[in-house]
C-alpha cells in the first residue's frame, strides 16, 4: 500500500561542514502519509466543524428562545424581555429596526396564553400566527428565524462550481463573464423554467 521510495543521497564535498539537521532519518511511507495527508484532512475537518458549531451557537443565542413553545414557556418575564431586546439589536441596521423589542415582548406574553398546550415547533407557531394575524413583530421574528441560513453549504456549492468553470484553460476569463457563468450554473434549476422567447420578445417590444 505504501511503496518504499529509494532514498536520495546528496553527495558532499570533503570541505563541506557537516549539517546534523539535514541528515535526519527520513520518514517511512506510513509516517509521511500520516503527516502530509491524514493529519491535514483531520485538521481541516475539525476547523470546519468548529466554525459551524460557533455559527450555530451564535444563532442559538439570538433566536433560541423562539425555537419551540416549550422554550417560550420556560422563560420568566425578565429573561424573555432580555431575549427580545437582544433580537432587536441583532436585526438592527443603522437606525432601521425589523422588530421592536418591547412590542415583541408584549406580543409574546399574550401569545403564550393563546397557544395550545401541546409542544409546538417554530413552523407550527408561525402557522398559528398566520391564522390569528394580530402579532406583527412576532410574525416577522419567526419568518426571519425560519429563513436565515445557519450553515455555509450554499457557499461551498458555489466554490465547487467555480472550480469547474474557471479551469487552467480558462485562466484569462474576465470577472464579469465568470460571475455570469457562475450564476447560470448555480441557478440551473430556475433557469430551466425560463421561457427565453418571451424575454426576447418583451425586450424587443420595450425598445420600440
Position 21 scores a pLDDT of 47
Query: 130 and 63 in one domain?
Result: yes
Mean pLDDT of 11-19: 61
Last residue of a domain, one of 103, 119, 147: 147
Position 156 scores a pLDDT of 55
Does any domain span residue 52? no
Does any domain span residue 90? yes
Query: 195 and 157 in one domain?
Result: yes
Query: 194 and 116 in one domain?
Result: no
Position 49 scores a pLDDT of 81
Q: Which pLDDT band holds residue 178 (cuts at 50, 70, 90)?
A: confident
Last residue of a domain, one of 130, 147, 164: 147
Does any domain span residue 100? yes
Closest CA to 91 of 82, 99, 102: 99
Number of domains in the chain: 2
Rg, C-alpha atoms of the chain: 29
Q: Which residue spans within 26-153 are E strands per DSSP?
A: none
Query: 109 and 61 in one domain?
Result: yes
Q: Would the pLDDT of 50 be above 90? A: no
Mean pLDDT of 39-63: 85
Max mean pLDDT range (43-57, 70-84, 92-106):
70-84
Structural domain of 143:
57-147
Does any domain span residue 45? no
Contacts of 7 (CB under 8 A, 6+ apart): 26
Contacts of 154 (CB under 8 A, 6+ apart): none
The three three-digit cell numbers of residue 116, written as one number: 395550545
- Residues 167 and 181 sit within 8 Å (Cβ to Cβ): no
Query: 194 and 119 in one domain?
Result: no
Query: 181 and 134 in one domain?
Result: no
Query: 108 and 63 in one domain?
Result: yes
Query: 134 and 65 in one domain?
Result: yes
Position 22 scores a pLDDT of 45
The three three-digit cell numbers of residue 53, written as one number: 458549531
Position 23 scores a pLDDT of 43
Mean pLDDT of 36-45: 81
Last residue of a domain, one of 128, 147, 166: 147
Could you read off the pLDDT of 88-103 as tens digits, one per residue? 999 888 888 889 999 9
Query: 114 and 133 in one domain?
Result: yes
Contacts of 61 (CB under 8 A, 6+ apart): 86
Query: 173 and 104 in one domain?
Result: no
Phi and psi dihedrals of 96, rounded to 5?
A: -95, 135
Place of cell 390569528: 132
Query: 161 and 125 in one domain?
Result: no
Query: 178 and 136 in one domain?
Result: no
Does any domain span residue 188? yes
Does any domain span residue 38? no
User: What does pLDDT average to over the chain?
Assistant: 80
Does any domain span residue 116? yes
Place of cell 420568566: 76
Could you read off the pLDDT of 103-133 as tens digits, one per residue? 999 999 999 999 988 999 999 999 999 998 8
Does any domain span residue 64? yes
Amino acid at each position: 500500500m505504501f511503496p518504499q521510495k529509494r532514498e536520495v543521497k546528496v553527495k558532499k564535498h570533503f570541505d563541506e561542514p557537516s549539517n546534523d539537521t539535514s541528515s535526519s532519518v527520513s520518514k517511512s511511507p506510513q509516517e509521511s502519509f500520516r503527516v502530509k495527508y491524514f493529519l491535514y484532512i483531520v485538521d481541516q475537518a475539525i476547523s470546519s466543524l468548529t466554525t459551524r458549531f460557533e455559527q450555530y451557537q451564535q444563532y442559538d443565542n439570538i433566536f433560541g428562545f423562539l425555537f419551540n413553545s416549550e422554550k417560550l414557556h420556560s422563560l420568566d418575564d425578565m429573561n424573555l424581555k432580555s431575549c427580545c431586546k437582544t433580537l432587536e439589536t441583532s436585526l438592527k441596521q443603522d437606525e432601521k429596526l425589523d422588530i421592536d423589542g418591547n412590542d415583541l415582548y408584549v406580543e409574546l406574553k399574550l401569545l403564550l396564553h393563546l397557544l395550545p398546550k401541546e409542544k409546538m415547533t417554530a413552523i407550527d407557531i408561525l402557522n398559528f400566527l398566520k391564522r390569528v394575524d394580530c402579532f406583527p413583530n412576532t410574525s416577522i421574528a419567526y419568518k426571519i428565524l425560519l429563513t436565515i441560513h445557519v450553515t455555509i453549504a450554499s457557499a461551498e456549492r458555489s466554490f465547487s462550481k467555480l472550480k469547474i468553470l474557471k479551469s487552467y484553460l480558462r485562466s484569462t476569463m474576465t470577472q464579469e463573464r465568470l460571475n455570469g457563468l457562475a450564476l447560470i450554473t448555480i441557478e440551473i434549476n430556475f433557469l430551466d423554467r425560463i421561457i427565453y422567447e418571451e424575454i426576447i420578445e418583451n425586450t424587443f417590444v420595450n425598445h420600440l
